[in-house]
Structure 1
Amino acid sequence: MNSIINSISDYSAYIIIGMAAVILLLFILVLILFRSLNKVEKRYRKLMRGVNSKNLEELVIGYLDKVDEANKNSVEAVELGKFLQEKMKKSIQKVSIMRYKAFEDVGSDLSFSIALLDDNDDGVVLTGIYGRHESTTYAKPIDKGISRYDLSEEEITVLNKSINSK
């Protein structure tokens, strides 16, 4: 036992320096841990902001309910979009117009032909013939790009321009 005490006495300076190094290392480690703890505490406070006496679980459930509501609204919007897209196919989408001089004795391009078609090339060709003493307007139905009635050259031109416009 005496020899151990003598050995410790002989190396006491080295032991003290070693212990001081370990204490310094532990002190640095404690500072690093306090800094990490401070960061975690800031994140915790940020997470809990706005929470008075509410439970965090209630807050998360409230947000999940809002997400479900948003998803439901999104599905409804997609369905409405599909419905409107189908409705739009039946609206006038293709239009072509041509003015021309139907008779040589009329001074200007006062006659016209207009093709109004939907996405399925269904619609109507309207033609207005202006003469010096009378004016006539015709409407000819179009079904899938074809008319059951004879079309004039101008009506065929506006019909083809309208069909090829999209």
Structure 2
Amino acid sequence: MESILNTINENSSFITIGLVVIILLLFIIVISLIRSVNKMEKKYRKMMRGVNNKNLEELINLKLEEIDKAVENSNEALNKCEVIKEEMKGCVNKIAIMRYKAFPDVGSDLSFSIAILDSYNDGVLITGIYSRQDSTTYAKPVDKGISRYELSEEESYVLNEAINKR
């Protein structure tokens, strides 16, 4: 034990200088940490002050209220879209047309059949027959994809074509 004490006494000046250097390094580290803390504190105070001297909590609450209003408006718009979607089913959204020669002595495809239907396959079939002497137009109602009148081959074709459209 005495040898350790003798070694310490002999090297006390070196030990003291070493401890002073360590203390100075620690003092420099403490000062740099204090500066960093001060910078962070300034940033924190600035952030908490917010915009136009409102604090951050008020701004967050204001934005949350705006988000709630936006969600409410979005849900309202989705509900209106569903109503419009249901109403659109009753509108014309399936159309098919076919031009053809009704008579071999007529030069061009001047006769036609057109099917105009809604999503429920309700609507009308319109057929125009053109000949050299006259032109005749027929309208036949369609209910759930079926006409109570007899259909020609061309009318059946356009009706099926219109029904199969999505």
Instruction: Give the TM-score taking structure 1 as reference length.
Output: 0.81
Separation of aligned partners in 1, 2:99 and 2:10: 119
1:62 aligns with 2:44: no
Separation of aligned partners in 2, 1:22 and 1:133: 119
Closer, same or farther: CA 58–130 of 1 in aligned 2, 3 Å:
same
- CA-CA distance at 1:156 after TM superposition: 0.4
Give unmatched runs, 5+ long, in structure 1: none
**Deviates further, 55-64 or 118-127:** 55-64
Q: Which amino acid aligns with 2:24?
A: I
- CA-CA distance at 1:163 after TM superposition: 1.5
1:73 aligns with 2:73: yes
Q: What residue number does 1:113 align with?
A: 113
Q: Which amino acid aligns with 1:88?
A: M
Q: Which amino acid aligns with 1:133?
A: Q
Q: After superposition, what is the alpha-carbon deviation per residue over 1:106-140, rounded to whole angstroms, capped at 9, x for unaligned? A: 22111100111222222211111112222111111
Secondary structure of the structure 2 residue equivalent to 1:147 = coil
Secondary structure of the structure 2 residue equivalent to 1:68 = helix
Separation of aligned partners in 2, 1:91 and 1:55: 54
Q: What residue number does 1:82 align with?
A: 82
1:19 aligns with 2:5: no
Q: Which amino acid aligns with 1:22?
A: I
Closer, same or farther: CA 45–55 of 1 in aligned 2, 3 Å:
closer
Q: After superposition, what is the alpha-carbon deviation per residue over 1:129-155, rounded to whole angstroms, capped at 9, x for unaligned? A: 112222111111212211111110000
Q: Which amino acid aligns with 2:35?
A: F
Q: What residue number does 2:127 align with?
A: 127
- CA-CA distance at 1:26 after TM superposition: 4.0
Q: How many residues align?
A: 160
**Deviates further, 28-37 or 129-138:** 28-37
Q: Which amino acid aligns with 1:35?
A: S
Work out the percentage of aligned pairs sharing the same amino acid: 47
Separation of aligned partners in 2, 1:13 and 1:148: 117
Matches within 5 A, 1:31-50: 31-32=32-33, 34-35=35-36, 37-39=38-40, 41-42=42-43, 44-46=45-47, 48-50=49-51
Q: Which amino acid aligns with 1:132?
A: R
Q: After superposition, what is the alpha-carbon deviation per residue over 1:21-55, rounded to whole angstroms, capped at 9, x for unaligned? A: 13313422442453355256336535644232x34
Q: What residue number does 2:29 align with?
A: 28
1:146 aligns with 2:123: no
Instruction: Give the TM-score taking structure 2 as reference length.
Output: 0.81
Give unmatched runs, 5+ long, in structure 2: none
Separation of aligned partners in 2, 1:100 and 1:83: 40
